[in-house]
């Protein structure tokens, strides 16, 4: 009878946990953290939209030589960002696991800032500075696009997790929107013809530094992911973070329940890794680096994991439909309708799915693989 009573009490606690709504203060705190982290999404969207306007500016073309007249080379000026983002996305799974989600964001911001500074030297460096700078910048935004959804999903409580992860898409769309208006405004600096000033294209490029520096400084004061802390044996710190995020005392039963749930998942996956890859059971940086490739290979070896790969890569791949150009007013109207409906459905849901479908041990690598197809 005692066992039945314990089970009933546990079930009752679980029902209260799953049905509990956060208070206004706790909701606001978690939302602030997620919204601030999504500055990375703003940078990602801004980079996607900004450069198309810069390419059309006469002052910019004066420094690029044949890279704006030869269509193949002009394509490289645009595509080099996506190549860097793809590489950055794949490498960021290792960084997020070894350094923590928080410190990986700091590294990505630093890389991004370096890339912007290199681009700003294009007045004297020409197309080489733009190619090199956009590649490095791409690595930064690609890493941010992968790490931010993981971070938001792991600091958010279950009842609002999906909504907070979806803010990534809102941030990307906001970044694209402001990039178009900034390009439109700066295009008139010095005129729109041969008299145009270099500031017309330097301002949109250099403005990226402000949110990047803000994100870098702000993330220093943001909490670690409690899931990452538990997975790396920092349990007392994880309790304090959970307590702060949920607005409850560290010994509150709901904090304890969530803590034990995360710990059970972490222990199960550590044991699984120890059984499948005993040579990688120690959590060293080198083992984690090797585990990244082992884990990605493992994603294709079972039917259940392969389904996750298909879902993650396909949903993120078809996100690119939102950026296709259209000719004519009729097509413009159709694009508007597409973007409106995309914005509340496929766009945000893709980020939620890719962040939530993976086990804890393979989450950084699974999200990296999914986000790389974007």
Whether 304 contacts 370, CB under 8 Å: no
Task: Kindly report, residue by residue over 98-128, the tens digit of the pLDDT.
Answer: 899 999 999 999 999 999 999 999 988 888 9
- Residues 131 and 127: their CA atoms lie apart, in Å, by 6
- Distance between CA atoms of 30 and 28, rounded to whole angstroms? 6
Strand, helix or coil for residue 266:
helix
Under the phi-then-psi rule, with left for phi > 0, alpha for psi from -120 to 50, and beta for the rest, what region is 277?
beta
What is the DSSP code string of 177-212? HHHHHHHHHHTTTT-SSTT--THHHHHHHHTTHHHH
Q: pLDDT value at position 357?
A: 63
Beta-carbon contacts of residue 246 (< 8 Å; ≥ 6 apart): 22, 26, 157, 252, 254, 255, 258
pLDDT digit string (tens) for 286-337? 887 777 777 777 767 667 666 666 666 666 565 554 444 444 556 567 666 7
**What's the predicted TM-score (pTM) here?**
0.78
| Spacing of C-alpha 315 from chain mean position | 15
The domain ranges of the chain are 22-372
Structure token digits, residue 206: 């250099």
pLDDT tens-digit series, residues 147-161: 888 888 888 877 777
> pLDDT tens string for the chain (374 positions)?
444 444 445 445 544 544 455 566 666 777 788 788 888 889 988 988 898 889 989 999 889 888 888 888 888 888 898 889 888 888 888 888 889 999 999 999 999 999 999 999 998 888 899 999 999 999 999 899 888 888 888 888 777 777 777 777 788 888 888 999 999 999 999 888 888 899 999 999 999 999 999 999 999 999 999 999 998 889 999 999 999 888 888 888 888 988 998 899 888 878 877 887 778 778 788 887 777 777 777 767 667 666 666 666 666 565 554 444 444 556 567 666 766 666 656 666 666 666 666 665 666 666 666 666 65
Residue recorded with tokens 């309708």: 337
CA dihedral 33, 38, 40, 41 (to 10 degrees): 170
Report the C-alpha gap between 108 and 182 in whole angstroms: 24
* Domain 22-372 -> CATH class: mainly alpha
Q: What does the DSSP 8-state code read for residue 282?
A: S
């Amino acid at each position: 009878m005692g066992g039945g009573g314990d089970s009933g009490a546990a079930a009752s606690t679980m029902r209260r946990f799953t049905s509990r709504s956060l208070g206004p203060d706790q909701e606001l705190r978690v939302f602030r953290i997620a919204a601030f982290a999504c500055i990375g999404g703003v940078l990602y969207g801004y980079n996607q939209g900004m450069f198309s306007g810069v390419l059309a500016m006469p002052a910019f073309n004066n420094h690029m030589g044949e890279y704006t007249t030869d269509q193949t080379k002009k394509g490289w000026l645009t595509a080099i960002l996506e190549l860097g983002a793809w590489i950055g996305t794949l490498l960021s799974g290792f960084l997020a696991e070894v350094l923590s989600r928080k410190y990986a964001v700091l590294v990505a911001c630093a890389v991004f800032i370096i890339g912007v500074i290199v681009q700003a030297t294009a007045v004297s460096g020409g197309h080489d500075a733009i190619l090199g700078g956009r590649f490095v910048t791409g690595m930064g935004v690609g890493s941010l696009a992968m790490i931010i959804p993981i971070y938001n999903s792991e600091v958010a409580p279950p009842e609002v997790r999906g909504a907070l992860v979806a803010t990534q898409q809102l941030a990307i769309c906001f970044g694209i929107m402001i990039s178009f208006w900034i390009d439109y405004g700066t295009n008139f600096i010095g005129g729109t013809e041969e008299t145009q000033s270099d500031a017309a294209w330097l301002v949109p490029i250099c403005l990226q530094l402000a949110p990047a520096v803000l994100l870098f400084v702000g993330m220093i004061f943001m909490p670690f992911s409690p899931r990452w802390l538990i997975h790396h044996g920092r349990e007392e710190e994880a309790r304090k973070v959970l307590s702060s995020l949920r607005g409850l005392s560290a010994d509150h039963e709901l904090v304890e329940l969530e803590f034990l749930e995360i710990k059970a998942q972490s222990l199960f996956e550590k044991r699984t890794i120890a059984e499948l890859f005993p040579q990688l059971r120690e959590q060293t940086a080198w083992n984690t680096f090797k585990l990244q490739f082992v884990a990605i290979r493992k994603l294709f070896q079972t039917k259940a994991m392969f389904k996750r790969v298909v879902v993650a890569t396909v949903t993120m791949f078809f996100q690119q439909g939102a950026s296709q150009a259209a000719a004519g007013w009729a097509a413009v109207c159709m694009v508007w309708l597409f973007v409106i409906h995309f914005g509340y459905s496929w766009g945000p849901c893709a980020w939620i799915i890719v962040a939530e479908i993976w086990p804890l041990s393979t989450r950084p690598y699974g999200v990296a693989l999914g986000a790389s197809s974007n």
